[in-house]
Each structure stands twice: as C-alpha cells, then as structure tokens.
Structure 1
Amino acid sequence: MKRRKWLWIFVTIVIILTLALIVIGLLFGKDEKEKQNGLSGDFDISKQGTIAYVHYLQGKPEIHLYNPEQSLKMKALELENDQIIVDPSFSNDGSTLVYIAANKDSDEKLASTVYQYDLEKKEVKELFSVQSAITEIEFSPTGTSLFYLQAEVFKNYSPIASKRPHDFDLHEYRFADKKQMKHTNLKKYSMESLTIAQDGKSVFVQMPDDEDVNTAEGSFESFQRIFQIPLDQPTNLKVVSNPERKNDIYDFTVVPNKNEFIFQSVSNPDTGETFQYELYTYNAETKEEKQLTNLKEYTEGPEIAPGNKIYFMVDKRFGQRNSDYHLYQMNLDGTNITEIPLPNDK
C-alpha cells in the first residue's frame, strides 16, 4: 500500500510539474512575441511625399502614415503579434498602399497574403494569398498590376546557416482578372530589391551572378549584382551593375531618368572588423562609382523621394539581438545627411 501511495504521489508531482512547464512555456512564447518594439527597416515614400513605415508595439506590427506637409500623422492598421508586415509599397498616384503579411513562426510550409489599403477610404482589402513566401511587391507604372518576388522553399543550405526562403522567381498579379502569372523560372538562391523600370517593360533585381554555378555551395562564391529582366523576353536578363565589382551589392534603387543606381555594399570587406554597410552610386554609362555615406553603421533600403532626395534606414544596433532603426535623408550626391524623426519611432 505504501509503495502504491508513493507512486501516486510521484505521478501527481510529475503531472503538476509538466502542467507548470507548459504554462510557463506558453507565457514565455507570448512574451517573446511581445518583445518586438520600434521601427522595422520596411518603409516606402509616395510621389506625394507620404512616408509609410512599419512599427511594432508589444509585438504587433503596425503601418503608420506620415506627411508633415499635409499634416498627416496616423496609424493606418495593425495586425496580431504572431504576424509580420513586409514591404509596404505605394501606387504611383499615392492613393493605395499594398503590403505583405506573414506568420512570424515560419516553417517548411510557408504562406503569404497581399493586402491593399485605400488611403482615402481607410479600408483594407485582401488581394491574394499563396502557400509560399512573398518577400517584396511593387506596383507597375500603370497601376494595373503588381510585381512580386516569390520563394518556393524554406530551408538552410548550410549546417551553420539559419532557414531562409530560396528558389526565387518573378511573378505578377493583374487587377483586372485577378490572375497571377510567373515571368521567370530561375529558381534563384536569393532575389531582392525589386524595382520596376519607368517604362514598365523590364524589372531590376539583385541576385547572385551564378549562371555557371551548378551547386548550392558554389553560389556562396558568386557575387551579388543588379540584373535587368525584360518582361517580353525574361530569359535575356543582363547584369547592369559593374560586372567586375568584387564586393556584393545588396539593396538598391534606380535614379529616375538616369542610368544610375544607388546601392548598399560593405565598405570594409578586408579589415577583419565588423562589417559596415554604406550607400554607393554607380553610373552605368560613365562606369563611375562613388561612396555616398560614411556612417560606419548598417545603412540600407535606399528610396528616391520627391525633390531627388534619397531616404534610407540605419540600424544602430546591427548584429545585436534587437534592431534600432532610424530614417535618414540626403541629397543625390551624398551631401546634407539628416535624420527624419518619425512619430512612434521608439
């Protein structure tokens, strides 16, 4: 009897401890989701000068709109703290904003949903959803469709690397018939910084220059460059950044009415110190390159704003557990770098 009694006591203690650990785990998981606060690196600027930026409050992603010249300062929308908002993008007339929503806890089964926000009506509408990772989205110049980058797999190609989306291609969504179409079949290891040409006939993306690479390991030895993809013949893509550059190019934007790019790259690749990411300009006609910033931090996401200003984000805690993003602007030649305070940027 005593042995049975002690057995029941032991089982009861185990059950209580198990339940306690489950409760603690749930609470801890909730706390983790609520820890994300402040600006993310995702933002866009309309041709009318309105800034849309993503801000997290206790883990909840929000999109804020800010235009001091129009006395506009508002939170447009928010999602639950188990989701993220990626790449808000304005239409050319500034009346509409699209964005991507996805779950924070990504796994092998990916899912992304694209939404449209009407700035005048202040209404949100779901456009489409896919069981894949959509990472970037942009309006066509005519506003009749959306171009987006979609990945098909989510895994790590290296034992020391974390899981990430891979096998990227260029897609398009047409508003008129609500149809989605795939423009390329590249299955690129990575593809970023989607930019639509002004004439709407081609797109620019950053991806590895690995045409002759046949293995995943070999892709690590290729350089990231800027490519132009003609929409009528997407297989005839070409490198438009400096093909001889021996350092990777990351985020970039195209300067309107010029054959010129503003891009992000590492400024100290050979020092052995923590990498510093700065902005550069490259003129494809003159083949001239110039460093625009020298902040010695992590500078990313250049966007061309009205008045030929370059807006960009700086993460002042790059490489640490939590980021600390700040929005800056400067002239096209890199002069007059100033920080732009945003409402609720802390």
Structure 2
Amino acid sequence: MSAAPRARVPERSAGGARGAPKGKPAAGTRQIVGVPPEILRQVKLLELRTRGLVNSLFTGEYHSVFKGQGMEFAEVREYQPGDEVRSIDWNVTARMRHPYVKRYIEERELTVMLAVDLSGSARFGTINRFKSELATELSAVLAMSGVRNNDRVGALLFTDAVEHVVPPGKGRRHALRLIRDILVYEPAGSGTDIGGAVDYLVRMLRHHSIIFLISDFLGTDFERPIKLLAQRHDVVAVTMEDPRELSLPDVGLARFTDPETGLTLNADTSDPDVRAKFEETVREEGESRKRIFRRLGIDEIVVRTDQGYIDALLRFFRLREQRGRRR
C-alpha cells in the first residue's frame, strides 16, 4: 500500500517549530505551500465523503453529546412557581421587595482540538490503509461535525515534538484547511512524545475544551501527562490499531523493524510459542491502556485500519448521550 503524496511544510518565519526544542510551542503557525493538485482532489473527496456521514449520522449525536460546557447570564426576572430557590438573586429581591431570579442560558460555543500522532508507528498499515490515513479521515469527520455544530475546531500534529498547529477556528473553509494540513503534512520526527503535545495544549487552551487524542499509544508513558490534561478538559482517546500489531502471521523467519527507533528483531513466526507470546504481550498492553483511561475518567474509541470507524464513533456518541441522561 502506498502512502499519499506529501508536501513539505516550510517555516513562516525563522523561529518556527522545526528549530525549536522538542515539545516547545512553535513560534506561530506555518503555512503549507506547493500542495499538489492530487492532494487538493483528495481533500475535496474527503469533504464529500465525510460531509455525507456528518449529515446523515453524526449531526444529532454530536450535538446532543457536546452541547456546551458553561452557562452565560441572560437576565433577572420575577420569581415564578417552579423556579429553583438557589437561582434567587437576593440583592435584587431585597431592593425590589419581591423575589427575583437570575436566568442563564447555555454557552453554545465549544473549542474542539484534534491532537494527532504522526510518529513512525502511525505511518504503518497492512490492510486497507495506514493508521495516519485513518487518523486523517477521522479528523475530517470530527472537524466537519464541529463545523456543523458551530464549534471552533483546531488541530495539533505531533511526533516526538509539536510539529504543526492549526489554531481553533470556525467555518467550512477553516475545516478544509485543517483537513488539508493533516493530509499533506510530512513530519520531521519519527518518535512519540505525548507529554510534549499535552504541555502545549495545556498552555494553549485557557478554557474548558474537547480534545480528541488520536494515537496508537504504543511504547510511550502517557498516563502522567494525560492526567493533567483530563483534569482541565474533556479528553477522548482514539486508539488506532492494525491487525498485524495484534497477532503475527505464520510466515516463517521474519525481520521486524521498529518504525520509531529503527531497531530490528528477527523472529521465527512459524513457532506457535513466539506467536502466542506476542499476542499475550499485546493483550496485556491493551488491558493496561484501558485501565489507565478508566482511572483518568477518559472515554476510549478503538478503531482499526481493516475496519470501518462509523460504528465505533456511533457507539461513543450514544454512550455519552445515555450517560448524560442519567446525570
């Protein structure tokens, strides 16, 4: 399977992120230039495909789950039977000698950030697509859903450093720019540092936001940094998997290369014990990841390169909606 053509992203100024220490914020956003026509066609196709999904499937679910995270003062009016006592404005009541209450309306505007892992392991896939391509399509669906919901949507692309940032914005044109940037971006790094990405988001986002953290969460200690992020924001983990990372095929002696470190390992995959040990290790790592997310109160969406993601997203939205009704 071949990857989509990628365009190099030059610096807008000499102080951009590529020369900055790992994990440090870029000095402003960078402009992508020289995008090949085939990439622009891919962006348009992605928009058409995801717009159909958003219109037919996700608009209602997204809106009901992410309704707004705060309340905004609207007016003071006379108390009416059925009003809550705690909403009484005692200062106005004393002045007017009659009960008055404060009325609030829900703040509709939300900020949604897509934190996308573009490390070496994300540029891997054996069936249908690479994980990075899956991340791009998921980001497109979430971005278009946010646009339909009148939310501000942004993106942060990271490896072992913060590579590229699209500040939150509104509207279709902004969403298309975000999708294009994820689609064409060629990362400089190959490792993974979720902590650096989290540090950037903590400094960047001053108000409560929704953060979709899209990664494979392989070989990285992410609990401590994500814990801080989850204390301030609504974090949703989107875990990408490929079937060849879950079980080994019986193909005899094979060489495996770590896409992030370059280290190689020879293994006899025809040995049932080797395959069983591999699957056991993968299962334990997956269970550990799920325990971490449960401890932190983070919802996880698991998607695979060899399967569709629609059902996984719908399950997440409906679970959130049911949980909200029980509160």
Greater fraction of residues in helix = 2
- Give the structure, 1 or 2, with the largest relative contact order (CA under 8 Å, sep 6 or more): 2
TM-score (norm 2): 0.25
TM-score if structure 1 supplies the norm length?
0.24
Structure with greater proportional strand content: 1
